Chains A and B, each alone.
Chain A
Amino acid sequence: MLKKLLIKILGGNPNKDSTSKKLNPSKEVQPLSTSLEENLLTLRKTLENCADIVFRQFIVQSPSKKVKAFIVYVEGLCDPKSISADLLKPLLSDINQLESPPLDLTSFHKVILEQVLSLTDAQTTTNMLELVETVLNGNVVLILEGSASAIIANLQQLEGRAITEPDSEPAVRGPKDGFVESLHVNASLIRRRIRSSRLKLELHNVGKITKTRIGVVYIQGLANDKVIEEVRRRLKRINLDGILASGYIEELIGDEPLTIFPLIQSTERPDRAAGALLEGRVVILVDNTPLNLIVPCTFVSLLQATEDYYNLSLFATFIRIIRFIALNIALLLPAVVVAVFSFHQELIPTTFLTNVASARQDLPLPIAAEVLLMEITFELLREAGVRLPKTIGQAVSTVGGLVIGQAAVNAGYVAPIPVIVVAMTAIASFTIPSYPAGISIRILRFFLLFCASIMGSVGIMLGLMAILVHLCSLRSFGVPYLSPFAPLSPTDLKDTFIRVPWWAMITRPRLMGSKEPIREDNAQGPTKPDKRGKES
């Protein structure tokens, strides 16, 4: 209902879809001509005013024949060195060494493809529109006189960032490589971890103008077919003109039109993606984004870091419990403090109460307003810290931490307690591994603060219940968001607040609906040496 309303207000009309689909050119066929001049003209016309597209005309001179030819490519997407070494050099000089030079024009084309060119990846096409598309994808296209088919040479060389440590999900223990912008590099990072023929990568082109490549990665037999089919269906449904980052996809294929929680997990770590694949989930790689998507996603998985699986299970469990406490602090602390101080003073120990009361005596604002003020200040500082260049960022933190915190107390604006509260909340909220989940918590913190300032603990509880209703109603690709808690799935609790050792991690998460639920054989845990001695 809300979605329809929003679309109506923003002036969209969902019925337009049917007409716009006809304009989609990729399904039409426009054959190449046998005449070189004609092909050149059509191409020039289609690619008019594209200064980055290079046409290079030349003559191929074999011992038997002279044939006019040209190549087309986009400057900067192809490697100029390999164009000259692997494409032009064979055509212009090596062709003379052919033992049986072709006589007519039709076989010329075939001979060149099979005997002359030293390319690893070469294909042919007869469709002009496909040809244009491949050129724009970064391939070199060679067209010869008298042939109605063009040779596509894959000499791509994308200027890409080197593989570096992921900024948003650092880990102390665990691999240090992170996804980069190129889809193929990202796919290779996953493939390097899962060397199985069952690891599948399906490519889709999405975006009417941008034609962004999107890869659906899954392990055949582990992932639920229904989920894979659903992902394909939802990707096909997308009819947007441009996809620039995975965030676009995330909003377009989510289950709920408007929600405050991330329904799709995004990650910058290939090891995390590989782990998710092994749990039977599906990874969606989006070209030009280092943040790739994992579906289905549950609320619990947003609170887990990859490192949990590399540390010893007891350490990981401890850290997870700490993180859960931190989640509660980040969400509830300001609200609880406001509720206690303005509604339930009886909960404060008496000695402390006198302290607090005397400190609060000459303050102008009620505590709810104080906390709100400090929270907003902190959010400002954080946002400023993200936007500013790194060198200036430090100045912001100095100003924020010392000047505002200390000065506000000294000037008598706020009591020291709100400052402590905000500081605690801030630290706690940094422990949440998923950045988007952190943002939802930040927003909900304000919501609960509002509830608490109206009705104290009753307000907090009602607010929490509203959040719970929302959480319960969410699904991510058919998997209930709150699983394995509601609906309860006891065997899956092994990987929530606790993480059982790997030798006990016998089954995959049940609700992912994997076809092969068993992960490993029973009882392969370590045995004590003396016991082993007896056995052997």
Chain B
Amino acid sequence: MLTVVVILSTVILFVPSVTAEKAKQSAWIVPMVASLAGVVTLWLVTQLGRRFPNDTLPQYSQMILGKFFGKLLVVWYCFFFIFASILIVHEFIEFTSITLLPATPPMVLSLSLMLVGVYATSKGLEVIARMNQFIFPLLLIALMVGFILSWFKMDLDRLLPLLEEGIKPVIVASWTPASWYGEVIFIAFIFPQLNKPKEIFKKGFLGLMLAAGIMAMMIFFTIAIFGSELSSSFTFPFWSIIRYLEFGKYIQRLEIFLFVIWISSMVIKISVFIYMGNFSITQLFSIKFKTALYPLAGLVVFASVYSFKNIERFMEVLTILWPPIALISEIGFPVFLLIAAILRGKKGGDRRLKR
């Protein structure tokens, strides 16, 4: 379930516009294609996890590749998670200041999100997971209400013709969302801590499918209501839908409820990523968990505020620069690790099982 929230929170905002631009009416198929990336990552992670049931990715990468290259890989992952955190925080700032709090300085927003995120992280993974368990049903209910209400505004004709230009634009459009699905890589970092490691593939797969389903629904509705042209021109299309909704004269401006739930999922997401980034650093230098946490959080806060000039630049990073980085670390390296592990015949972690 953690997977669903982690993926959805970004997706809710941006995906429809990104995908609609390229895939036009057929954009709602994109998530299905993109989720393949997630499934691949998940499969790789579970394969590696089965080989090294008691080690995390930073630990077994050093076992497979030797100390130097293993550490190099961990450094890469540090950057990956820190970069991802910066993107997440910036996303939050951007969205909040555009829609709700135009006058609030971004520093305040960034800092306050990070404070809560760090608080959750310092309490450990279990707390994050439990929070997620609490938030997830609320998120689901909010989305369902949104879907049901927007049902009446739909015009299915806007979805036709399906696959007008063949399957190719769909695959091209899947590029960015694929990187979000690949975020399930974080499972590799917590594998030994999971309760039922055998079921993880099944559960993760269900989570991915659920996320893909919801995402497809969202794009479906967006396009059915606004049409593909309009959808791609909005910065936050799904937000606009909910905003556009009204039910009778009294139920209006529902977007604030969606927004409020969205913040909670953002908090969970940022705490997961900060946790992972921090975890990689602690593995790298073998220091205590909390030592690196606060400097790391500070770095992310500053970077998120000052590194992007405007939302155009941010979207550029998110759609062009980010996907290759993400896909390399989400699929490329695990594949590499798995092959290397098989070739060198390394298997680890049995000693602790026997104990």
B133 proximity list for chain A (CB < 8 A): 485-488
Q: A462 and B263: CB pair below 8 A?
A: yes
Q: Which of A344, A466, A472 has most chain B Cβ within 10 Å?
A: A472
Q: How far is the CA of A466 from the CA of B135 in the complex (A)?
A: 13
- List which B272-322 residues lie within 8 A (CB) of chain A: none
CB neighbours of A480 from chain B (8 A): 130
B256 interface neighbour in A347, A470, A472, Cβ under 8 Å: A347
Task: Knowing A343-B100, A343-B101, A472-B123, say if A461 contacts B130 (CB, 8 Å).
Answer: no
Interface residues of A in 445-483 (CB under 8 A from B): 454-462, 464-466, 468-470, 472-473, 480, 482
User: Distance in Å from the Cβ of A458 to the closest Cβ of chain B?
Assistant: 6
Among A461, A472, A485, A486, the residue within 8 A (CB) of B263 is A461
Contact of A466 among B109, B116, B253, B256 (CB under 8 A): B116
Within 8 Å of chain B (Cβ to Cβ): is A229?
no
B335 at the interface (CB under 8 A from A): no
**B104 A455 Cβ-Cβ under 8 A:** yes
C-alpha gap A487/B259 in the complex (Å): 25
Inter-chain contact A455/B260, CB cutoff 8 Å: no
CB atoms of A486 and B131 under 8 A apart: yes
Inter-chain contact B134/A346, CB cutoff 8 Å = no
CB distance from B158 to the nearest CB of A (A): 28
Residues in B with CB closer than 8 Å to A487 are: 130, 133
> CB-CB < 8 A to A461: which residues of B?
260, 263-264
Residues of A within 8 A of B104 (CB): 455, 458
- Whether A469 lies near B112 (C-beta < 8 A) is no
Q: Shortest CB–CB separation between residue A440 and chain B, in angstroms?
A: 18
Most buried by A among B104, B108, B116: B116
A460 → B minimal CB distance (Å): 8
Contact in complex: A469, B123 (CB < 8 Å): yes
For residue B179, give the distance in angstroms from its CB to the closest CB of chain A. 26
| Alpha-carbon gap, A461 to B112, bound state (A) | 11
Contact B96 A469 (CB under 8 A): no
Residues of B near A470 (CB, < 8 A) are 119
Contact A469 B119 (CB under 8 A): yes
CA distance A487 to B128 in the complex (A): 11
Is the Cβ of B130 less than 8 Å from the Cβ of A458? no
CA distance A466 to B264 in the complex (A): 10
The complex places the Cα of A456 from the Cα of B100 at a distance, in Å, of 9
Taking a contact as CB atoms under 8 Å apart, the answer to whether A346 and B253 are in contact is yes
**Given A347-B256, A455-B101: A472 and B130 interface contact (C-beta under 8 Å):** yes
Chain A interface residue count, CB cutoff 8 Å, equals: 27
The closest CB in chain A to the CB of B260 belongs to A461
User: What distance in Å separates the Cβ of A427 from its nearest Cβ neighbour in chain B?
Assistant: 25
| B22 CB, nearest partner CB in chain A, Å | 32
Residues on A with C-beta less than 8 A from B42 are none
Bound Cα distance A472, B112 (Å):
19
Q: Mark B105-124, 1 if CB is under 8 A from A, else 0.
A: 00011001101100110011
Interface size on B, residues (CB 8 A): 27
Taken together as a complex, chains A and B put the C-alpha atoms of A462 and B114 apart, in Å, by: 10
Whether B256 and A457, one on each chain, are in contact in the complex, defined by CB atoms closer than 8 angstroms, is yes
Query: Most chain-B Cβ atoms within 10 A of its Cβ — which of A454, A455, A458?
Result: A458
Asked whether, in the complex, the Cβ of A482 is within 8 Å of the Cβ of B264, the reply is no
Minimum distance in angstroms from B41 CB to a CB of chain A: 26
- Do B116 and A472 touch across chains, with their CB atoms under 8 A apart? no
CB-CB under 8 A for A462 and B131, given A347-B256, A455-B104, A469-B123: no
Give Cα distance in the complex from A207 to B262, angstroms: 51
Please tell me if the beta carbons of A458 and B123 are within 8 angstroms of each other in the complex.
no
Residues of A within 8 A of B101 (CB): 343, 455-456, 458
Q: Which of A343, A454, A468 touches B131 (beta carbons < 8 Å)?
A: A468
Known: A456-B101, A459-B112, A486-B133. A465 touches B256 (CB 8 A): no
A100 to chain B, nearest CB (A): 72
Q: In whole angstroms, how far apart are the Cα atoms of A82 and B344 in the complex? A: 90
Q: How far is the CA of A457 from the CA of B109 in the complex (A)?
A: 12
Closest residue to B257 on the A side, CB-wise? A457
C-alpha gap A170/B324 in the complex (Å): 65
CB contact under 8 A between A344 and B134, given known A459-B112, A469-B127? no
Nearest A residue to B271 via CB reads A469
Q: Mark A391-426, 1 if CB is under 8 A from B, else 0.
A: 000000000000000000000000000000000000
- From B100, B113, B253, B259, contact of A462 by CB (8 A): B113
A457/B260 contact (C-beta < 8 A), A469-B123, A472-B127 known: yes
Query: Are B134 and A457 in contact, CB atoms less than 8 angstroms apart?
Result: no
Map CB proximity to B onto A348-365 as digits: 1 under 8 Å, 0 otherwise.
000000000000000000
Give the residues in chain B near A465, CB-CB below 8 Å: 116, 120, 131, 263-264, 267
Contact call A344/B256, Cβ cutoff below 8 A: yes
Chain B residues within an 8 Å CB radius of A346:
253
Q: Closest B-chain residue to A463, C-beta based?
A: B116
Tell me whether A469 and B263 are in contact (CB under 8 A).
Answer: no
Residue of B nearest to A467 (CB): B116
Q: Interface digits, A374-386 against B, CB 8 Å rule (1 contact, 0 not)?
A: 0000000000000
Chain A residues closer than 8 Å to B253, beta-carbon distance = 346-347
Q: Which residue of chain B lies nearest to A454 when distances are taken between CB atoms in the complex?
A: B108
Q: Least Cβ distance of B269 to chain A in Å?
A: 12
Rounded to whole angstroms, the CA-CA distance of A470 and B130 in the bound complex is 11
Complex-state Cα separation, A462 to B124, whole angstroms: 18
Chain B neighbourhood of A473, CB < 8 A: 123-124, 127
Min CB–CB distance A431 → chain B (angstroms): 23
Contact: A469 with B256, CB < 8 Å?
Answer: no
B127 contacts across to A, CB distance below 8 A:
469, 472-473
Indicate which residue in B108, B130, B256 contacts A455 across the interface (CB closer than 8 Å). Answer: B108
Chain B contacts for A488, CB-based, 8 A: 133
A92 to B127, CA, bound (A): 71
Instruction: Determine how close the nearest CB of chain A comes to the CB of B305; give it in whole angstroms.
Output: 16
Give CA–CA (A347, B253) in the complex, Å: 7
Chain A nearest CB from B151 CB (Å) reads 24
How far is the CB of A168 from the nearest CB of chain B, in Å? Answer: 30
Chain B hits for A459, CB < 8 A = 112
Report yes or no: B100 in contact with A472, Cβ–Cβ below 8 A: no
- Name the distance in Å between A335's Cβ and chain B's nearest Cβ: 12
Residue numbers in A under 8 Å from B131 (CB-CB): 465, 468-469, 472, 486
CA distance A456 to B97 in the complex (A): 12
Q: Among residues 320 to 350 in chain A, which have CB atoms less than 8 Å away from a CB atom of chain B?
A: 343-344, 346-347
Q: How far is the CA of A462 from the CA of B133 in the complex (A)?
A: 17
- A468/B100 in contact, CB under 8 A: no
Within 8 A of A (CB), among B68-125: 96, 100-101, 104, 108-109, 112-113, 115-116, 119-120, 123-124
| Contacting residue for A469 out of B100, B109, B116, CB 8 A | B116
Lowest 6 A-B CB distances belong to which pairs?
A486-B130, A473-B123, A461-B263, A486-B133, A472-B130, A486-B134
Q: Which residues of B approach A to under 8 Å, CB–CB?
A: 96, 100-101, 104, 108-109, 112-113, 115-116, 119-120, 123-124, 127, 130-131, 133-135, 253, 256, 259-260, 263-264, 267
Q: List 16 A-B contacts (CB under 8 A).
A: A455-B104, A455-B112, A457-B256, A458-B101, A458-B104, A462-B116, A464-B264, A466-B115, A469-B116, A469-B119, A472-B123, A472-B130, A473-B124, A482-B134, A485-B134, A486-B134
Residues in chain A within 8 A of chain B (CB atoms): 343-344, 346-347, 454-462, 464-466, 468-470, 472-473, 480, 482, 485-488
In the complex, besides A465-B120, A469-B127, A486-B130, 10 extra interface pairs with C-beta distance below 8 angstroms are A343-B100, A347-B256, A456-B101, A457-B256, A458-B96, A460-B260, A465-B131, A469-B123, A470-B119, A472-B127
